[in-house]
Structure 1
């Protein structure tokens, strides 16, 4: 799930040079660098490879750019990402260029309305495809249990890549991502518990998908999200919003299967509600930096459907990231006038239980813990000790958490981080009544 300047085009797909490759349940797309100064914008329908659109001047339809893109999509070489606006506009046209109905290659530039019956048929076809893939996953999970888990650490990445590729074919990309992440957990001391937890979660997800129609609406939306069904931004914008002054507290970047993902955690200064701004960039593209840690945004957050959901779209108005924010929104003013009270670990445990009751597949909970970092004993991990004396291991970051030690000075800190039920990933120190100011610590 690499940042920096846009890279040189990649030579893949019939020798063509591509930028900004991606795919969704509806289409695959890319910008192909041809002889013109501006790359050609090419889109291929996911369920009808003969249905294409391309901005090149070729009279042949499908053109060589669409044919090359279709080859890449068929080979599974294109990652699942969110559709850019230009792709959404093209896919919304009816029709694309379909060689069966448009042999002259007119370009399919019509702007007719989307056919709701056709959309319903596509949705049902996808669900059947996902169901077939998850049935195969259940058989694979049964095989792992029957043969025993002891051999999993020696199985290698290929053992998981094969079933993950099948999930990609079945249009269940989130399940594929979970499977591909499993080998990294098999090198830890507690790998049996982690592996059993992950495999059990996948089994529960497959069973929940079988009973999708019987689930409450929000839980059903959670199941779809964990499988990898896409949700359009327009659908999210149509949901009720939460207007607040959102303070972006911390960010953490991860790289998963060639995709760079940035999670930015925000908290409403008036509502106290958590929100997650998630942005993904494939190779050669920059992350969206519209929301930056340390800034506040007076705006509306529209949350994605699903119980226990933190992910949200942050709507304008947003402050210009290159200009100082307005005086009543400055982070410094909030830090000077607002103190944050941290929770103890018992309270955090209750919060995690509530989250898992709503979303059994949740893997991280945003928390603020009042505690003091304590050094490891005989090779153990650093820990955070709360005011009651309970401790939680800290996730190893870029190094030992000396910034936390320096800021604490032996006194409790208000540590904001991500808690997974076992460990805490510290991301920021929040201001408190003692005058400590906001700062990011690790991964920020």
Structure 2
């Protein structure tokens, strides 16, 4: 362009640049493979990106970020209710965002994950009235959609007080609910009416106050109770008898009522479909519960003494020797089940010794016991034969093993099985109790 160019020439040049830019962008888009994807394939990709992803950001969900990429992506996202069926929220989520997702999901089954345990957790902000109001509002919004919730994860801790009965106070049934996980900072007893959850198969409760006679849905295949309160052991057994489909049971640090009372006599509770059983309870509770369960041979059973009980034993018995590591009658009852189990006990005078025992049945085989301490240094092994029991002991640096002496005296008949015991010895002055007993 020469010096004599007019303003109209400048306008034409600007228009030409705009047109060329548009053409260039269109040509650039044609080179991007994803723009050639059919809408159905993009929809499947979006679904995989958001489906049941509890670690996704509740503040800016994945699906909203996808809708900001292009107008085509936005149209696909807005036209599919399934993409809005995952409701993931925390104390920072705007209730309006949850309301929009509920509306766009139409009548699709919902996956609901509400928690104030976000990685960006801030005590000051999370304890504010605004944060608590947000969570309560979100819970009320979701509660109105209870009949179409399929998976519910409700974990509210700290300063947020919300009772589960408030969530299930409506007369509507959770007809589609398959799995539920609850952790609530509430002292109100939780009453789970079975007719409210006709399809529930997985139930996980933490820090819940249960009614003395909990009524669990008979459709359950998985039941996990952790740090729950005021549970009646007898009522729990009755509940087990009504849940014939149970495959997985976990009872960890549950506080039972009337723990000094012995269970009344009664028939064994059949657990025909049980695959795994995990118990972390005081021994006086576990020794009453386990003999009353009719457990299949192939069931894997893991047992841990309650850590509070271990602490009591250590304080009372640290300077006493010898210390009986197990109630061997209790162990024998377990062995007769021909299952697998993991057991913690207490140990000797100068050490805090915990024993883990793993048992797997092998019908018709002799018993083989192997004790290996985790102390430093090498020590010679010795073998003890008690009938069909072969006991191999590696002496600990601090002296002979009390469990070896106990078994070597022939005070227990372990019967026909295969048993391996690992003895781990930690110096009480160097090993924190909360680290003792961790499985490697």
TM-score, normalising length: structure 1: 0.27
Relative contact order: is structure 1 or structure 2 higher (C-alpha 8 Å, sep ≥ 6)? 1
- TM-score normalised over the length of structure 2: 0.28
User: Which is higher, the Rg of structure 1 or of structure 2?
Assistant: 2
